[in-house]
């Protein structure tokens, strides 16, 4: 098994005719993902390398049975596209778009929660890869093979870095989930930790956080209550000066709260070993599973 | 984006939040003219984003033109904890019967706006929160419902404000919430919110943080700048659409993605080096962004060596390599570069760099190896 995406995934990409949308959708298809449709308003009836393009997500669901959406439209249109996918009955919405206004994210999050019929991953995330099964998003899949480590991260490129270190130690992955670094992620660490705990294929979980917010602290509490599988942690930003915003809306430290040391301590208090570098994370994982 | 007090008050006024009448000024003459127009007594307030400016001489009351001239002359150009005062805000002096605290913040953890009200205004609210948390009334608002009049009453009664101003304070909170939503702020804070002896309610200060990602919908707000708080390299980076934070060391850093760049800073520091900056070239960086980034990094004269740490997802390594080759042609760097490329189109990127054979550019296969190399080169 894997979590969230697999051979049953039927993907529609919104913004498929943009250069990035085309490039990554075709890469996802090359990997083996079942890409059934694309959506660009006004370009219905065209196709992108054989993938049919529709004007609305509703059509992509009706005609092609899409059950997963990848959002690739520019930030000013992204909230609308996510809500369209939600209303069209898409179960899993993966929003790659970076730079969506915070108030849009808040509204989208609350509507999805209220209606309770879709799960949103991201926005501002690299997507999901279940090696050997499906890839939805921008994760460079060639670095990863199928295996027993579940990886969840707030940062895209850091996911690749840590995943690559694990791969060099011989580990494969059940699923890699990038939840995104924005202030209001649709899915947080806790949701993904629960899925990995309940997934048979996953034997060890690696969780990569970063400074800012309290998602890691809340995840630590959840691990203490619910997770029995070994968890290895990593936190980026130990040397970041306080009060400086480091790019992600998420990556800001104010005073002592949200700092890397506090997050590492919260995780360690629940028995999670926290590596200080990506290489060390892989070494700790090695010690736990002896791959 | 953090606004100056007067920029925040001008936003407040646009949404009907009562604020004292005032005018901004950048010269002594402008300040005196503003004071004469507003009338005396008036307050001359330094416009810098730092708490406690009053205690440091940044706020003075003027009773006539001569005093206004004297105070504006003293405050303009003054240094307040490392920030230069380029602007003052001149406003009618207010008499104060009570000082309250009010704010609307974007609560990431609860994923909802949080409205707070306290009678302990005029002081450091974080200290109040630590010492007497019950003195702050708090309420999360469902963003799909919005702030209702009953929310205002609940907060006002719970905070224990004077009974005769429950209604105007509640209305003030509703208007602050409107500012928060309409201007797409992540923070709207008033400290102090005052009640005058004739029982008027006014915002005597304004602290507003706007969401940078929403500025395309607010072109007027996008024009607002704070000259005092900007480092020249940070301004240059901002103008070129890069996320750059200046640090104190001598190793220039470029990476893609905030998490990886922060991790790179940690690893470089762990290898015994001192990063000169944080620079996130962002997702999908094209070659011209890389050229800009190299210019920004090298505009810091302390930089002795530069590390490129790229793990491409949406970013394509061949684009990064092309950008670096272009940057060498334009900028002609004299310091060594260590380049680590992995991820999307990495083979193409590495091949381009090998072929270009740029002077002083070292390719490294791993992040740890690249960090060790750049620390050695910067020593």
Assess whether pLDDT exceeds 60 at residue A5: yes
Q: Given an 8 Å threshold on Cβ–Cβ distance, is A156 in contact with B259?
A: yes
Tell which B residues from 345 to 364 touch A, by Cβ distance under 8 Å: none
Residue A24 at interface with chain B, using a CB cutoff of 8 Å: yes
From chain B, the residues in CB contact with A103 under 8 A are: 143, 181, 184, 211, 214
Total domains present in chain B:
3
The residue from B92, B109, B139 where one domain ends is: B92
Tell which B residues from 1 to 20 touch A, by Cβ distance under 8 Å: none
Q: Please indicate, yes or no, if residue B9 is contained in any of the structural domains.
A: no
Residues B33 and B134 placed together within one structural domain of the fold: no
Looking at residue B227, its pLDDT comes to: 63
What would the mean pLDDT of B117-142 be, rounded to a whole number? Answer: 88
Q: Which residues pair with B122 in a beta bridge?
A: none
Q: Give SS3 for A125.
A: coil
Residues B353 and B292 placed together within one structural domain of the fold: yes
The residue from B192, B222, B252 where one domain ends is: B222
CATH of the domain at B371: 3.40.50.261
Residues B264 and B351 placed together within one structural domain of the fold: yes
Residues B52 and B176 placed together within one structural domain of the fold: no
Q: Give SS3 for B269.
A: helix
Rounded Cα gap, residues A225 and A266, in angstroms: 14
State which residues form the domain around B119. 98-222
Assess whether pLDDT exceeds 70 at residue A257: no
Mean predicted lDDT score pLDDT of chain B: 92
From chain B, the residues in CB contact with A279 under 8 A are: 367-368
Residues B344 and B303 placed together within one structural domain of the fold: yes
Residue B216 at interface with chain A, using a CB cutoff of 8 Å: yes
Q: For A10-40, what is each residue's pLDDT tens digit?
A: 999 999 999 999 999 999 999 999 999 999 9
Query: Which pTM value belongs to this model?
Result: 0.90
Residues B238 and B215 placed together within one structural domain of the fold: no
Tell which A residues from 130 to 189 touch B, by Cβ distance under 8 Å: 137-140, 143, 153-161, 164, 181, 183-184
- For the beta carbon of residue B197, count every other beta carbon within 10 angstroms: 10
Q: What is the DSSP string of B154-165?
A: HHHHHHT--GGG
Rounded Cα gap, residues A269 and A220, in angstroms: 8
Q: Is B177 a residue of the active site? A: no
Rounded Cα gap, residues A286 and A142, in angstroms: 21
Q: Which residues pair with A70 in a beta bridge?
A: A13, A94
Q: Please indicate, yes or no, if residue B264 is contained in any of the structural domains.
A: yes
Rounded Cα gap, residues B179 and B325, in angstroms: 47
Assess whether pLDDT exceeds 60 at residue A246: no
- pLDDT interval class at A253 (50, 70, 90): very low
Chain B: nearest CA to A161, how far in angstroms?
Answer: 7
Terminal CA-to-CA distance of chain A, rounded, Å? 19
What would the mean pLDDT of A54-63 be, rounded to a whole number? Answer: 98
Q: Give SS3 for B218.
A: coil
Rounded alpha-carbon distances, angstroms, from residue B177 to A104, A112, B142, B148, B159: 16, 23, 12, 10, 17
ipTM for the assembly = 0.88
Cis ω on the peptide bond leading into residue A123 (within 30° of 0)?
Answer: yes
- For the beta carbon of residue A126, count every other beta carbon within 10 angstroms: 30
Assess whether pLDDT exceeds 70 at residue A179: yes
Q: Given an 8 Å threshold on Cβ–Cβ distance, is A239 in contact with B258?
A: no
Q: Which residues pair with A51 in a beta bridge?
A: A48
CB B226 within 8 A of CB B49: yes
The percent of residues in chain A predicted with pLDDT above 90, rounded, is 79
- pLDDT interval class at A265 (50, 70, 90): very high
Looking at residue B224, its pLDDT comes to: 85
Under 8 Å CB-to-CB from A1, ≥6 apart: which residues? A174, A199, A200, A201
What would the mean pLDDT of A174-193 be, rounded to a whole number? Answer: 94
Chain A: nearest CA to B193, how far in angstroms?
Answer: 24
From chain B, the residues in CB contact with A219 under 8 A are: none
Looking at residue B240, its pLDDT comes to: 79
Q: Given an 8 Å threshold on Cβ–Cβ distance, is B211 in contact with A241?
A: no
Q: Please give the domain boundaries of chain A with CATH numbers for all domains.
A: 11-121 (3.40.50.720), 144-289 (3.40.50.261)
Residues B192 and B312 placed together within one structural domain of the fold: no
Q: Please indicate, yes or no, if residue B239 is contained in any of the structural domains.
A: yes
CB A141 within 8 A of CB B344: no
Supply B32's token pair: 């005196």
The residue from B46, B64, B92 where one domain ends is: B92
Looking at residue A233, its pLDDT comes to: 97
Q: Which residue in B has a C-alpha nearest to residue A252's C-alpha? A: B258
Rounded Cα gap, residues A290 and A282, in angstroms: 11
Rounded Cα gap, residues A49 and B108, in angstroms: 41
Residues B336 and B299 placed together within one structural domain of the fold: yes
Q: Given an 8 Å threshold on Cβ–Cβ distance, is B314 in contact with A277?
A: no
Under 8 Å CB-to-CB from B332, ≥6 apart: which residues? none
| Biggest alpha carbon–alpha carbon distance for chain B | 78
Interface size A-B, in CB pairs within 8 Å, comes to 171
Rounded alpha-carbon distances, angstroms, from residue B51 to A254, B5, B124, B205, B207: 15, 11, 9, 11, 10
What would the mean pLDDT of A187-208 be, rounded to a whole number? Answer: 97
Assess whether pLDDT exceeds 50 at residue B153: yes
The percent of residues in chain B predicted with pLDDT above 90, rounded, is 76
Q: Given an 8 Å threshold on Cβ–Cβ distance, is B343 in contact with A160?
A: yes
- pLDDT interval class at A172 (50, 70, 90): very high
Looking at residue B199, its pLDDT comes to: 96
Assess whether pLDDT exceeds 90 at residue B125: no
Q: Which residues pair with B102 in a beta bridge?
A: B117, B190
Rounded Cα gap, residues B200 and B314, in angstroms: 55
Cis ω on the peptide bond leading into residue B41 (within 30° of 0)?
Answer: yes
Residue A253 at interface with chain B, using a CB cutoff of 8 Å: no
- For the beta carbon of residue A287, count every other beta carbon within 10 angstroms: 11
CATH of the domain at B79: 3.30.1490.20
Rounded Cα gap, residues A34 and A54, in angstroms: 17
Residues B78 and B111 placed together within one structural domain of the fold: no
Supply B367's token pair: 């992040």
Q: Please indicate, yes or no, if residue B15 is contained in any of the structural domains.
A: no
Assess whether pLDDT exceeds 50 at residue A219: yes
- pLDDT interval class at B228 (50, 70, 90): low
- Compute φ and ψ for B281, nearest 5 degrees: -70, -10
Rounded alpha-carbon distances, angstroms, from residue A167 to A120, A151, B51: 28, 12, 49
CB B103 within 8 A of CB B113: no
Per-residue 3-state assignment (H helix, E strand, C coil) for B310-369:
EEECCCCHHHHHHHHHHHHHHHCCCCCEEEEEEECCHHHHHHHHHHHCCCCEEECCCHHH
Residues B59 and B40 placed together within one structural domain of the fold: yes
Q: Could you tell me which of A69, A80, A67 has the C-alpha nearest to residue A39? A: A69
Residue A111 at interface with chain B, using a CB cutoff of 8 Å: yes
Rounded Cα gap, residues A207 and A252, in angstroms: 19
Chain B: nearest CA to A65, how far in angstroms?
Answer: 27
Supply A84's token pair: 């369209």
Q: Give SS3 for B290.
A: helix
Tell which B residues from 94 to 123 touch A, by Cβ distance under 8 Å: 106, 108-109, 111-113
From chain B, the residues in CB contact with A244 under 8 A are: 245, 278
Looking at residue B344, its pLDDT comes to: 85
Q: Give the DSSP letter of residue B108.
A: T
- For the beta carbon of residue A22, count every other beta carbon within 10 angstroms: 18
- For the beta carbon of residue A80, count every other beta carbon within 10 angstroms: 14
CATH of the domain at B153: 3.30.470.20
- pLDDT interval class at B74 (50, 70, 90): very high
Assess whether pLDDT exceeds 70 at residue B283: no
Rounded Cα gap, residues A242 and A73, in angstroms: 33
Q: Are strands A68-71 and A92-95 parallel, antiparallel or unpaired?
A: parallel
Chain B: nearest CA to A201, how far in angstroms?
Answer: 25
Residue among B242, B259, B319 with most chain A CBs within 10 A, to mutate: B259
Q: Given an 8 Å threshold on Cβ–Cβ distance, is B311 in contact with A160?
A: yes
Residues B268 and B357 placed together within one structural domain of the fold: yes
Rounded Cα gap, residues B114 and B355, in angstroms: 56
Residues B107 and B206 placed together within one structural domain of the fold: yes
What would the mean pLDDT of A231-253 be, rounded to a whole number? Answer: 71
Q: Could you tell me which of B272, B279, B266 has the C-alpha nearest to residue B306? A: B279
Residue A233 at interface with chain B, using a CB cutoff of 8 Å: no
Which of A24, A75, A155 is closest, CB to CB, to B259?
Answer: A155
- pLDDT interval class at A236 (50, 70, 90): very high
Looking at residue A96, its pLDDT comes to: 95
CB B85 within 8 A of CB B78: yes
Q: Give SS3 for A155.
A: coil
CB A210 within 8 A of CB A154: yes
């Amino acid at each position: 098994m894997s979590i969230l995406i697999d051979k049953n995934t039927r993907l529609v990409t919104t913004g498929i005719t943009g250069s990035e949308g085309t490039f990554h959708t075709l890469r996802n298809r090359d990997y083996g993902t079942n890409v059934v449709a694309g959506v660009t308003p006004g370009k219905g009836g065209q196709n992108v390398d054989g993938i049919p393009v529709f004007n609305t997500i509703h059509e992509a669901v009706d005609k092609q049975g899409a059950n997963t959406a990848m959002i690739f439209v520019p930030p000013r249109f992204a909230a609308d596209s996510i809500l369209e996918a939600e209303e069209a009955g898409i179960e899993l919405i993966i929003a790659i778009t970076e730079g969506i206004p915070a108030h849009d994210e808040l509204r989208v999050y609350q509507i999805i929660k209220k209606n309770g019929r879709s799960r949103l991953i991201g926005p501002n995330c690299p997507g999901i890869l279940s090696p050997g099964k499906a890839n939805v998003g921008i994760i460079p899949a060639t670095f990863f093979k199928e295996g027993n480590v579940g990886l969840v991260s707030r940062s895209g490129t850091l996911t690749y870095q840590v995943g690559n270190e694990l791969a060099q130690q011989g580990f494969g992955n059940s699923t890699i989930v990038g939840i995104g670094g924005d202030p209001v992620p649709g899915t947080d660490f806790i949701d993904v930790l629960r899925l990995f705990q309940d997934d048979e294929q996953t034997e060890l979980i690696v969780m990569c956080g970063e400074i800012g917010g309290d998602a890691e602290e809340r995840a630590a509490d959840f691990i203490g209550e619910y997770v029995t599988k070994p968890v290895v942690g990593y936190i980026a930003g130990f040397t970041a000066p306080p009060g400086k915003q480091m790019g992600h809306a998420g990556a800001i430290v104010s005073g002592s709260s949200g700092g890397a040391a506090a997050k590492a301590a919260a995780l360690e208090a629940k028995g999670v070993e926290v590596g200080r570098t990506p290489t060390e994370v892989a070494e700790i994982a090695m010690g736990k599973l002896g791959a | 984006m953090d606004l100056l007090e007067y920029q925040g008050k001008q936003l407040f006024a646009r949404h009907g939040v009562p604020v004292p009448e005032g005018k901004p000024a950048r010269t002594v003459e402008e300040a005196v003219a503003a004071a004469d127009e507003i009338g005396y007594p008036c307050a001359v307030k330094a416009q810098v984003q730092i708490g406690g400016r009053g205690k440091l001489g940044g706020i003075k009351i003027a009773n006539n033109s001569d005093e206004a001239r004297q105070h504006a002359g003293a405050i303009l150009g003054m240094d307040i904890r490392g920030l230069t005062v380029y602007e003052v805000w001149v406003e009618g002096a207010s008499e104060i019967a009570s000082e309250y605290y009010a704010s609307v913040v974007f609560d990431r953890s609860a994923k909802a706006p949080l409205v707070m009200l306290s009678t302990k205004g005029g002081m450091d609210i974080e200290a109040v929160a630590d010492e007497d948390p019950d003195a702050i009334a708090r309420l999360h608002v469902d963003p799909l419902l919005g702030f209702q009049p009953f929310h205002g009453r609940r907060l006002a009664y719970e905070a224990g404000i004077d009974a005769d101003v429950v209604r105007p304070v509640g209305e003030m909170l509703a208007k602050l919430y409107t500012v928060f939503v309409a201007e797409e702020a992540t923070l709207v804070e008033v400290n102090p919110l005052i009640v005058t002896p004739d029982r008027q309610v006014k915002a005597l200060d304004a602290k507003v943080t706007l969401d940078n990602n929403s500025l395309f919908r607010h072109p007027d707000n996008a024009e607002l700048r704070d000259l005092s708080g900007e480092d020249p390299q940070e301004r240059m980076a901002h103008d070129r659409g890069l996320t750059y934070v200046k640090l104190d060391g001598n190793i220039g850093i470029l990476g893609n993605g905030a998490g990886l760049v922060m991790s790179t800073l940690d690893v470089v520091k762990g290898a015994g080096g001192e990063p000169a900056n944080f620079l996130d070239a962002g997702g999908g960086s094209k070659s011209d962004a890389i050229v800009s980034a190299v210019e920004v990094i090298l505009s810091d004269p302390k930089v002795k060596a530069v590390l490129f740490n790229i793990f491409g997802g949406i970013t394509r390594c061949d684009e990064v390599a092309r950008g670096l080759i272009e940057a060498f042609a334009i900028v002609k760097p004299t310091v060594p570069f260590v380049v680590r490329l992995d991820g999307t189109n990495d083979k193409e990127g590495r091949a381009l760099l090998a072929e270009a054979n740029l002077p002083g550019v070292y390719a490294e296969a791993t992040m740890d190896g690249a960090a060790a190399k750049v620390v050695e080169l910067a020593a």
